[in-house]
Every structure is written in C-alpha cells, then in structure tokens.
Amino acid sequence: MPARPPTIASSWRRAAAGLHVAWAALLWASLRLVPWVILVFLGLLLWNLLAPPRWHFSVDARTAVAEVELPREFETNWRIEGAILCSRAASLGTLPRHTVDGPSPCGSRRWFAYRLAEAADGVADEQVLVLGGDSGGRRGETIAATIEVRTDGGLQLSLRAGGGSAAAKLRGSAGAPDVAAALPLNLVWQGESRPRDLVFPFTARRVRVGRDVTWAESSALRDGSLTVFTGSDESVAKRVRVEEVALMLGDQVRLEKLDDAETYWPKGFFRFDRIQGAEHGPVLEAVAFGRAERVRIERFGDAGYDFEPGWWVGVQHDRRLVSWTGFMIGLLGLLGTYAGMRELAAAPLLSEAFAGLAAASAGDSDGPAGGAEPAPHDEGQGRA
C-alpha cells in the first residue's frame, strides 16, 4: 500500500512537534547555562576589581614651570629661533659667540653664550634643536628638560643628561652642517627679544607640570584641569570622559611611563605664546596625555592624593563586564518571564473559577456534609 502524501495538517503537527523539541532543548540548555553565566560574571567582576583598568589621563594646564624627561631612544625636535644658547664648551663649531655689554645672559663664568645663525637679512633662520634619537645602547637613559617662564617675560630651558653624557644637535635650514653641543645646555629667550610662538612637542618618560610651593619660589602651576577618559567604540571621539578635576594654583601633576602589556609613553606639548594676555602675564601652556591606573596630584597643604576613578566607575566602564552583565540579566529575565507565564497558564481559568464558586455555593445549600467533593480548581492544578 503506497504511503499517503503528508497532509498539510500533519506537516503542521510535525513542525509544531519539532519546534516543541527545539524549545524544550533551548530551555534545558538555558537552565544549565545559568550557573556558568553567573560564574563567568563573578570571574569578570573579580578580574576587574583585582586588575583595575588603565585610564587615559589628560592634563591641560597653564603653568610657569614644567619638566619633562625625554627618552634618548626617541628623537625630539624643537624649533628654537631667537634663543641664546649657553654651553660650558668654549667653542661650538661654527656658532658665533654672543657678546654683550654687561653681564652675560648665560650667568656665571662656567657658561659661554652663543648666538644662533641668522639669515643675511637679519631675520632669524629656522633653527632646530635635535635631542635623542640615539642607538639602542642608550635605551633607558633620558634627557631632562626644564622649561620656565622668566621674570622679564621671556622663557628659559635647561637640558641635562639623565645619566652619562649626551649631546644635542643644532640643525639650521641654510644647508650648514649640524653642530653638536654636549649637555648641559641652557637656552634663554629674553623678554625684550619677543620670542616667536614656541611649541615643544614631546614623547616622555615622565612629565611634571608645576613645582612644589616653597617660600623661595614663585614659579608654579596656575590653573588647569585633569581629565580621565576611557576608550569607547560607541562614542564618535572613541573615548568618553569619566571624571574631571580642576587644578589649583600651586598644584603639581606627574604623568609617568606605563609598562603594561605594551609600553605607554606620556605625550604632549608645551606652548609659549609670544603675545601674552595682560591680565595674567606670560604663561606656558602644557598639554599632556598618558595611560595609568592613577595620577598623583600634589597640592600645598596636604600630602597629595591619587586621582583615580573608583571601583564602581571601573566596573561601569569595563565593556566585557557590562556586555556579560547585560547577557546575564537578559537570560535570567527571559527564564523568569517564561516561568511566570507557565505559572499563569497553570492558574484556573475564569470559567473554572466560577464553576468552583457555584459548587461551593451548592455545597453550602446542601449542608455541612456536602462539601467533600474536590473543587475543579484542584483538578486543574493537578493536571498542570
């Protein structure tokens, strides 16, 4: 007897049965998944608390003094037109001595003043100071640079070798050969010479903006802000501001190199505007970025404090943890909703409830002995 082709009804029945099996399998898997999901959540939470995230810190400050330690394996280039170069060497290649009537702009007799090359029309030629860029043998050594606003409205820069000896190169654009100048070096931009706008970008091992407040010093950080960011794929700027703190007069902020899975060097720049506002006088603008767990702010009058987002902020901005928490809450919510719906489905129907009420009323009219029959409500529950 040939098999009859399946009817539409039987196909629907088979499909429904298949779906029922799939649904049962999904429920079975979800129920067994719950403990593992919770376990992974706890693991991620523990990992977040034990290994706090690295934040992106950003310093934006106006200061009279700043220091930076430049790693010698990186080359740093700064334009230094208008500066008087002070060296302890009695001669520096072809650089002419800077001679003036009166005291030397370089200070004591240990220092010799040099004038940077000028073009024929008397306009300062482009002069570049090249620091670092040494071969690998100098890895780990640094050049310390301190930049400070002078009382005459100019700027001064000291360059010192952080260990051993080091030299800077002076590179002019006129085709002249580079001039090597051994550190220590000082560069002086006198106020009356109105230095051009100066920008000193850097990749550093350590950046220090501001200085300890003492009775003998007037150079200090004036104001600014320190901001913490975290990376975010959702944001257009690919980062989200987490917290910001205002910097006060006299504060000191340090950003340091972070050795993690990879090395993160603080980066930034100093800018000295030639035209200064009359209200505040000459000032150095410092902008620096770096990654770290925390940044220390040293403030006069207290021992300083670590600017570090709290654990809750860390949890909130851990994308893995947030995603997993969402998944866990969704799963538990779905299962809870399903369980609630099943319970509702098992509850007595309205008609059954009315029948039960009618039976109870009939029992009351028959007398107290007639109440022994089970109520439909109980049957319904038994079926479920």
Partner 1 sequence: MPHCKALMFPFVLLSAATAAASAEPPVARPDGEFFEAQQADVAVSGSVIVGVASTNAQEGAVVSRLLVTPAPAPPEGRLCLTVLSRDGVYYSRNTFALPDDPAGSTVQFDYSHSKLLETLRRYRERELAIRATPGRCEGVTGAAYYVVDAAASHAPSAVRVFVNSFGATDVFYQRDPSADAVACAPITEGRRTSFDYWCDIPWPTGAAGPFTVHIQRERYGREMPGVALTLYPAPRP
Per CB under 8 A, residues contacting partner 1 are 69, 86, 106-108, 110-111, 144, 146, 148, 156, 158, 160, 162, 184, 186, 188, 206, 211-217, 219, 298, 300-304
Closer CB to partner 1, 56 or 206, in the complex: 206
Closer CB to partner 1, 73 or 352, in the complex: 73
CA-to-CA separations, 10 to 2, 5, 18, 23, 60, in angstroms, rounded: 17, 10, 12, 19, 74
The CB-of-250 to partner 1 minimum distance in angstroms stands at 10
The CB-of-340 to partner 1 minimum distance in angstroms stands at 58
The CB-of-141 to partner 1 minimum distance in angstroms stands at 12
User: What are the tokens at 328?
Assistant: 């866990």
The CB-of-215 to partner 1 minimum distance in angstroms stands at 7
Indicate the residue type of 348: P
Closer CB to partner 1, 127 or 186, in the complex: 186
The CB-of-138 to partner 1 minimum distance in angstroms stands at 17
Angle at 241 between CA 236 and CA 243, to 5 degrees: 175
Q: How many Å apart are CA 65 and CA 222, to the nearest integer? A: 10
> What is the CB neighbour count within 10 angstroms for residue 22?
10
DSSP string, 235-294: STTSEEEEEEEEEPTT-EEEEE-EESSSEE--EEEEEE-SS--TTT-S-EEEEEEEEES-
The CB-of-335 to partner 1 minimum distance in angstroms stands at 53
Question: Containing H/E element for 296?
Answer: strand 295-298
361 Cβ neighbours under 8 A, 6+ residues apart: none
188 Cβ neighbours under 8 A, 6+ residues apart: 83, 84, 86, 105, 106, 150, 154, 155, 156, 157
Closer CB to partner 1, 36 or 215, in the complex: 215
The CB-of-125 to partner 1 minimum distance in angstroms stands at 24
Closer CB to partner 1, 190 or 325, in the complex: 190
Q: How many Å apart are CA 276 and CA 360, to the nearest integer? A: 95
Closer CB to partner 1, 14 or 110, in the complex: 110
Closer CB to partner 1, 268 or 348, in the complex: 268
